[in-house]
């Protein structure tokens, strides 16, 4: 069959997966520098600067650890630094990433209670309260939640979950994965008394993949003194002085840290985090208006849990979301997120995070609308128009 796909691509590829997300040109340029001595004074200044900046992003006065790793490494660091073999952990099936974190916890030898979910709703704070209240012997050592489920476009209500833990009067550590929410959706490590926050570089922080982060409360650091899970590379103890010295216990990802310095300047000093959050919320709302305009449905069933960084869109029964994605990639050079795990083939995901603006969103939604047309997926025209009207009005 003849394809209408261009054989030579021109213009920019549209990378609209929910991370790795688009990296600003100036961040790419900031990384295109000669590598420096990671034991020298220039690096020490850089190290101190990026740790201080990340504390502002996490909204914490406590320890921040930066690993040369992806988010998965930062997950392992959170668990292995704080827990001992056989410790009971409460986790929630909010989607693929919660399922992967759980699988890791099981492999590490933890005793995970995994509260089932339907992938359309987030964590119910009432269930957290009920489970912890019933645990009179305080056997549950940690409650682990994925703030923003990248696979489903569901953002959990972290302050409400914190309040539920408090109402139960339970001492469990609270661990939150912010891989696809930090620097995009409001997050407050100290105020919400999170013990370990996990993140990676490739989404809201506007960097390529390759850095993993933990923000660590004093309570979590104290827990690490007696935690007996095996760890070596991930051990926080070796990182305790990094904020003061700016040096790392092993070779850091020097050039990614040059990039991080640049992106922190953009996020914290130029746009400001509150404006960054508003921008993401606005693009997410415009995206949902487009989806409603097409007569399609978003996967997230509770408007209180809509994600500002990713929207998962259900395709009608009998249609294949991955075929739609292939058509869009082929014809319009745009990558959309695939359906993961349970929702494979049933949803496609539109990433609207990181370095992004109104016209990038309009191009993205136009590509989806044209793709729906080409794929023969039943939909109404006018989704893009609904988004444009929303964006034009505010
Ligand atoms: C919410 C969430 N947690 C964890 C991960 C795993 O991070 P990585 O793929 O960087 O190891 C991802 C990756 O997309 C994610 O979206």
CB 91 within 8 A of CB 174: no
Mutate to test the pocket of ligand 1, among 19, 66, 97, 151 (most ligand atoms within 8 A of CB): 97
Mutate to test the pocket of ligand 1, among 123, 144, 148, 150 (most ligand atoms within 8 A of CB): 150
213 lines ligand 1 (CB under 6 A): no
351 lines ligand 1 (CB under 6 A): no
Average pLDDT for 226-252: 93
Q: Calculate the average pLDDT of the chain.
A: 97
Any idea what DSSP says for residue 376? T
Q: Give pLDDT tens digits for 172-187.
A: 999 999 999 999 999 9
Residues 6+ apart with CB under 8 A from 189: 58, 59, 60, 62, 197, 215, 217
97 lines ligand 1 (CB under 6 A): yes
Residue 4: pLDDT above 70?
Answer: no
Q: What atom in ligand 1 is closest to the CA of residue 181?
A: 1
**Residue 249 vs residues 96, 226, 255, 256: alpha-carbon distances, Å:** 32, 21, 17, 17
Element (H, E) at 388: helix 383-393
- Reported in sequence order, the residue ranges of 6-139 that DSSP labels E, i.e. its strands, are 14-16, 63-67, 88-92, 111-115
Q: Say which residue the tokens 């900046």 belong to.
A: 53
Average pLDDT for 231-259: 93
Distance CA 327, CA 3 (A): 10
User: What is the pLDDT at residue 9?
Assistant: 87
Ligand 1 center to residue 97 CA distance, Å?
Answer: 7
The overall pTM is greater than 0.85: yes
User: What is the pLDDT at residue 14?
Assistant: 98
178 lines ligand 1 (CB under 6 A): no
Atom 9 in ligand 1: which residue has the minimum CA distance? 71
User: What is the pLDDT at residue 394?
Assistant: 82
User: What is the pLDDT at residue 8?
Assistant: 82
User: What is the pLDDT at residue 1?
Assistant: 47
Distance CA 147, CA 204 (A): 13
């Amino acid at each position: 069959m003849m394809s209408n796909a261009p054989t030579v691509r021109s213009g920019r590829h549209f990378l609209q997966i929910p991370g790795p997300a688009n990296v600003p040109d100036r961040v790419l340029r900031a990384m295109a520098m000669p590598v420096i001595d990671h034991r020298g004074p220039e690096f020490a200044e850089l190290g101190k600067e990026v740790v201080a900046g990340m504390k502002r992003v996490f909204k914490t006065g406590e320890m921040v650890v930066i690993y040369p790793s992806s988010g998965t490494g930062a997950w392992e660091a959170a668990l292995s630094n704080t827990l001992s073999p056989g410790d009971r952990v409460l986790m929630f099936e909010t989607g693929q990433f919660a399922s992967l974190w759980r699988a890791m916890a099981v492999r590490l030898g933890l005793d995970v209670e995994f509260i089932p979910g339907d992938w359309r709703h987030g964590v119910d704070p009432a269930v957290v309260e009920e489970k912890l209240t019933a645990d009179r012997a305080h056997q549950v050592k940690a409650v682990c939640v994925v703030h923003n489920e990248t696979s489903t476009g569901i953002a959990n209500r972290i302050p409400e979950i914190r309040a539920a833990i408090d109402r139960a009067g339970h001492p469990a550590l609270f661990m939150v994965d912010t891989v696809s929410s930090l620097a995009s959706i409001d997050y407050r490590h100290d105020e919400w008394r999170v013990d370990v926050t996990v993140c990676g570089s490739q989404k809201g922080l506007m960097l390529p993949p390759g850095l993993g982060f933990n923000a660590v409360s004093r309570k979590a650091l104290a827990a690490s003194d007696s935690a007996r899970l095996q760890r070596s590379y991930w051990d926080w103890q070796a990182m305790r002085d990094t904020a003061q010295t700016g040096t790392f216990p092993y070779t850091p990802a020097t050039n990614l840290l040059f990039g991080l310095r640049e992106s922190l300047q953009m996020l914290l000093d130029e746009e400001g985090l509150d404006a960054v959050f508003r921008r993401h919320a606005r693009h997410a709302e415009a995206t949902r208006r487009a989806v409603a305009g097409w007569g399609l449905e978003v996967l997230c069933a509770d408007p209180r849990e809509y994600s500002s960084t990713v929207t998962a869109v259900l395709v009608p029964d009998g249609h294949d979301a991955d075929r739609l994605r292939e058509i869009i990639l082929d014809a319009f050079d745009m990558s959309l997120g695939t359906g993961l795990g349970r929702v494979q083939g049933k949803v496609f995901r539109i990433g609207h995070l990181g370095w992004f603006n109104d016209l990038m969103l309009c191009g993205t939604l136009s590509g989806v609308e044209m793709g729906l047309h080409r794929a023969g997926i039943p939909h109404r025209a006018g989704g893009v128009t609904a988004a444009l009207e929303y964006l034009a009005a505010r």
